Structure 1
Amino acid sequence: MSALEKQNLINWELAASTAAKLAAPGPTLSSNEIGAAVADLRRMADRAVPHVHQITGLDAAADLRDSQVLIVDRASWAKANTQSFSVMLAGTLANLEDKARGQNALRPTARAISGTVTGAQLGGILAFLSSKVLGQYDPFAALAAGSQIPPAGRLLLVAPNIISVERELGVEPGDFRLWVCLHEQTHRVQFAAAPWLRDHMLQEVDKLSGLLLGNIDSLGERVSAAVRSAGRTPAEPAGPNKPGGLMELLQDPAEKAALSHLTAVMSLLEGHANVVMDAVDASIVPTVKTIRQRFNARGKDRSAVEKFIRNLLGLNAKMRQYTDGARFVRAVVDQVGMAGFNAVWESADHLPTEAEIHAPADWVRRMGL
């Protein structure tokens, strides 16, 4: 069986096309405005790198030629993520296919139907997310067979979303775009500073997805429970040990351990990027104080439907990662300086555990700093 056939459990092309059809329209722009916005975002992405270098002290920021910056629309972002997901889930899907074939449980016709349904569902999720994401560093799609993406990956800046948010907040566009680029370019620098990080994350994602999807017998029941949990009222908060939504699919200790490690890594990456983003002052981003205040207040106005979907997808848990990770980074830097903190990029053994994210002094002691 070919690699393509093994991937038929998810129809990736359908996922991308469904997301493109369902994605909400972006702000109305003339062709001249689009061209000007794309050029400006490229300039801001370039301007951000020296500031990331100065703030982080990571020499990897001095040379990022093995990755690229792309200014994309919502449909292109969704398609890019189907490419990334196909790489991250390749091992798990192949194992599931082998298991089903060994049990004669999934004939070609049934496989195609399953792939169509799953592809359409994934497309719906990507359509929702495509209007929310401002930028994303993607180190994984470069590993796809026949990929033309530079070896280290690509940074995606979602132009319609950046423009939409800057208009919503009523902030100065150039300042906001540079502020966003500081965060996203930091992710690009993180993977350049720790070239082992991509393979490590792939291994961990493969482990978690294998545990979760491999327990296929109880998956339907757990998905139903996740949907119910996403509808909690404010009086029934998820809490740190009850994340809510799809996160509650994880019940087995091995699943929880795998998620704990990935949560710690993502908290580190997002928190570090937020620290860099917030380290700038008015000399770099003149209206940064206004941007921070208005951006942080955005979540209060979300609709009930959007709140439900965010709960279902675990996006509120992701927001906690930004806060927890930033608190960890700041505490470590306060204790041992940025140079001491940068020991975290030396090897996978130096990554903080989820417990250490909440107890930074324990990580400092473990590192002998």
Structure 2
Amino acid sequence: MSDTPFGFGLPPEEPEDGDNGKKKGGQGGSQGPADPFGFGGGSGGADNPFAALFGGMGGPGGQMNPGDLGAAFQKLGQMLSYEGGPVNWDMAKDIARQTVAQGAEDGSKDASLSPGERTAVEEAVRLADLWLDGVTSLPSGSGSVVAWSRAEWVEETLPVWQDLVNPLAERVGAAMGDVLPGEMQAMAGPLLGMMRSMGGAMFGTQIGQALGVLASEVVGSTDVGLPLGPAGKAALLPGNIASFGAGLGVPDEEVRLYLALREAAHQRLFAHVPWLRSHLFGAVEGYARGIKVDTSKLEDVVGQLDPQHPEELQNALQQGMFQPEDTPEQKAALARLETALALVEGWVDAVVHAAAKPHLPAADALRETLRRRRASGGPAEQTFSTLIGLQLRPRRLRDASRLWASLADARGMEGRDALWEHPDMLPTAADLDDPDGFVHHEQLDFSELDKMLGEAASGGKPDLTKPAGSTETDGLKAAPAKDAPAGGSEAAGGAADGADGPDVPGEGKGDGGA
């Protein structure tokens, strides 16, 4: 296994105590692929594009089928003549669909959906939206509801994967081109062209295999923490929902409704927080811009490549040829992305729990199942760990969930949701370390300033005098401190001052769950 996802991510770190107790790359079970996007693995199977082309041509007894051989060479010619972007997305889609057709690790196969399955998904999301109306001020974001097979998930989400992956792959390609001086690039033109084609094929092969594996894991269009589907379209995968619920002892309808709540909650957030999608994708692009390749190592590798043996490029990628420098800027970019993803997941978790608790007897059990899934490497954890080396710590997600729940108690759901109006209003990583301090810190009351501005606008003269003993200062006064009971102020920013009071049980940084 490659420690550097795609060959250009930061090496993963050990998880903190209490998160899982073992390396992310060593998870057992079927919770996620060990290295879905990386260049690790052996020389066979979909990890190697040549194996993908030639591996299945042997007939009974290993005899070669001339027709298969001709088709394979035709595909090889197409691969080497590829002149598109940094990733051969046609190859990625073909390999993803082939991987889906082979079935999942648990033996389940993809299948066309029945009208009954599609209707059940539509009804579940519609009911979930009704329940969410009572726990969030954000309106429904699901303009339409669909059920997808695994193959449909690949087709529908591929455009967003292109937006996410292309900046990373382009940066690696640029780093390769920067190694050779201009005159050497002209001399090595044909070789560089072949390397670009092979690089696109390598990326396409790895991404295609990864998407095929993820297609058997995800239960909706937002399961990785990003909006992968078309805007306003809520989607669930009935086949994967059945696999998720197998062995839980929970009725299928409850499982479907709980996961529909999560999908619908994500849709509300991404639909009505217009800056959020670009904020998350921009963080990944910012990480990509900071990628710097060890050019001395790359020069040595490029100088040793033999055009007659293109598989050497695969070996170089496996050895971490594009491992970036471990700079403070890169670490800061990953920290910002982790905080943003934690805030999204934490909000969804808190809102869904509030909506599900009165209606679903198994709400607590399903919530715990999802937390354990994340701890052992769910789709979101696998995606970001292998894409850019980001380890999503389960403890961070739980801290964010507790913070959002406490905000709802202190400020009401309107005050909680108002923080999404601008990224500068959101809690920071430090606030996740001290959620109680963020929730109960003293807020300024701007009512006097609003009154003064209103009087000035109407032509009146604002009263700048202050009564004796007043705590007002220049029209601004401190809000009175109170203990912020549950169901407190509904106004945004009307939090109570409890920062100096006793800690609320369960609200610290400790590991409160799986």
TM-score by length of 1: 0.73
- What corresponds to 1:124 in structure 2? 209
Q: Is the 8 A contact 1:6 1:97 kept in 2?
A: no
Equivalent runs, 1:1-369 vs 2, <5 Å? 8-23=85-100, 24-25=103-104, 27=108, 34-58=114-138, 60-61=139-140, 64-65=142-143, 68-94=144-170, 97=173, 103=180, 104=185, 107-137=192-222, 149=230, 152-212=231-291, 214-215=292-293, 217=295, 251-281=326-356, 283-292=358-367, 313=386, 317=392, 319-364=394-439, 365=441, 369=493
d(CA) in 1 for partners of 2:170 and 2:390? 28
Q: Which amino acid aligns with 1:203?
A: G
- The offset of 1:39, in angstroms, is 1.4
d(CA) in 2 for partners of 1:140 and 1:98? 28
**Which piece of structure 1 moves more, 94-103 or 281-290?**
94-103
List per-residue Cα deviations over 1:313-366 (Å, max 9, x = no partner). 479735444323212212322333322211221112112222222222454449
Q: Is the 8 A contact 1:191 1:198 kept in 2?
A: yes
Q: Is the 8 A contact 1:141 1:153 kept in 2?
A: no
- The offset of 1:285, in angstroms, is 2.2
- The offset of 1:282, in angstroms, is 5.7
d(CA) in 1 for partners of 2:318 and 2:427? 30
List per-residue Cα deviations over 1:143-172 (Å, max 9, x = no partner). xxxxxx4xx353331221101122332321
- The offset of 1:249, in angstroms, is 6.6
List per-residue Cα deviations over 1:234-293 (Å, max 9, x = no partner). xxxxxxxxxxxxxx9782111111111111111011111111221135642244345445
Q: Which amino acid aligns with 1:87?
A: D
Q: Secondary structure at the match of 1:169?
A: coil
d(CA) in 1 for partners of 2:135 and 2:319? 45
d(CA) in 2 for partners of 1:337 and 1:196? 23
Q: Is the 8 A contact 2:403 2:435 kept in 1?
A: yes
Question: What residue ranges of structure 1 are gaps of 5+ in the alignment?
Answer: 143-148, 226-247
d(CA) in 2 for partners of 1:173 and 1:17? 32
Q: Which amino acid aligns with 2:354?
A: A
TM-score by length of 2: 0.54
Q: Secondary structure at the match of 1:168?
A: coil
Larger-gyration structure (1/2)? 2
Q: CA 1:222–1:119 in structure 2 vs 1: closer, same or farther (change >3 Å)?
A: closer
Q: CA 1:178–1:290 in structure 2 vs 1: closer, same or farther (change >3 Å)?
A: same
d(CA) in 1 for partners of 2:419 and 2:352? 19
Q: Which amino acid aligns with 2:332?
A: A
Q: Secondary structure at the match of 1:357?
A: helix
List per-residue Cα deviations over 1:35-74 (Å, max 9, x = no partner). 322210111011111222211122x32x643xx4332122
List per-residue Cα deviations over 1:73-129 (Å, max 9, x = no partner). 223323444321212344455555556556538733221111111111112222332
Q: Secondary structure at the match of 2:427?
A: coil
Determine which structure has the larger helix proportion and give its number: 1
Q: Is the 8 A contact 1:10 1:116 kept in 2?
A: yes
Q: Is the 8 A contact 1:7 1:90 kept in 2?
A: no
Q: Secondary structure at the match of 1:156?
A: strand
The CA RMSD measured in Å over matched residues stands at 3.9
Q: CA 1:181–1:99 in structure 2 vs 1: closer, same or farther (change >3 Å)?
A: same
Q: Secondary structure at the match of 1:121?
A: helix
Q: Is the 8 A contact 1:352 1:363 kept in 2?
A: yes
Q: Secondary structure at the match of 1:55?
A: coil
Question: How many equivalent pairs are there?
Answer: 327
Identity within the alignment, %: 25
Q: CA 1:350–1:249 in structure 2 vs 1: closer, same or farther (change >3 Å)?
A: farther
Q: CA 1:337–1:42 in structure 2 vs 1: closer, same or farther (change >3 Å)?
A: same
Q: CA 1:136–1:336 in structure 2 vs 1: closer, same or farther (change >3 Å)?
A: same
Q: Secondary structure at the match of 1:163?
A: helix
Q: Is the 8 A contact 1:267 1:321 kept in 2?
A: yes
Q: Is the 8 A contact 1:332 1:361 kept in 2?
A: no
Question: What residue ranges of structure 2 are gaps of 5+ in the alignment?
Answer: 1-81, 299-314, 445-492, 494-514
Q: Secondary structure at the match of 1:324?
A: helix
**Which piece of structure 1 moves more, 189-198 or 262-271?**
189-198
**Which piece of structure 1 moves more, 110-119 or 328-337?**
328-337
d(CA) in 1 for partners of 2:120 and 2:383? 31
